[in-house]
Amino acid sequence: MEHINDVQTQTVEEHFKLILEDNSVIDPNLRDVTSNDLPAWYNKNIYKGAQNYYKRNLLSIIAASTVGLIIVFAVETILKVLLCTKRSSSTCLAFKRYVETLQHLHNISTCDPADTNSK
């Protein structure tokens, strides 16, 4: 298995372009990630600072996420894209996907990526 430093693009723009042009770079299979998989630029102190920011502003983040969700469903062109994915084609599926995203955000913001037992 390749390390993230060997396959990661240098910029966000390059990464975004790669995803748009070649969806084979997206691995649909989940795998266990260990502290050995962290990129070279990972900084524990900065990450902990971001986690503290998340914890201090949790209510605001939830409120903003809820408003964002309402706005996404109100914009017809975005709604069409969501319907085409077949993962948000019903209210129940959209809610499930939204909750999964929030759970993922919460896990990233509260768990220790260097400790495989923290989540």
pLDDT in tens, 40-92: 888 999 999 999 999 999 999 989 988 988 887 788 887 777 777 776 667 67
Q: Check residue 99 and give its pLDDT.
A: 82
Q: Which residue has the higher pLDDT, 48 or 35?
A: 48
Residue 1: is its pLDDT beyond 70?
no
The verdict on pTM exceeding 0.75 is no
| pLDDT score at 54 | 93
Q: How many CB atoms lie within 10 A of CB 51?
A: 16
Question: Is the model's pLDDT at 6 over the cut of 80?
Answer: no
Whole-angstrom Cα distance, residue 48 to residue 109?
9
Is pLDDT at 28 greater than 80 in this prediction?
no
What is the maximum span of the chain, computed from C-alpha positions, in angstroms?
Answer: 43
Question: Percent helix, strand and coil across the chain, each rounded to 5?
Answer: 65, 0, 35
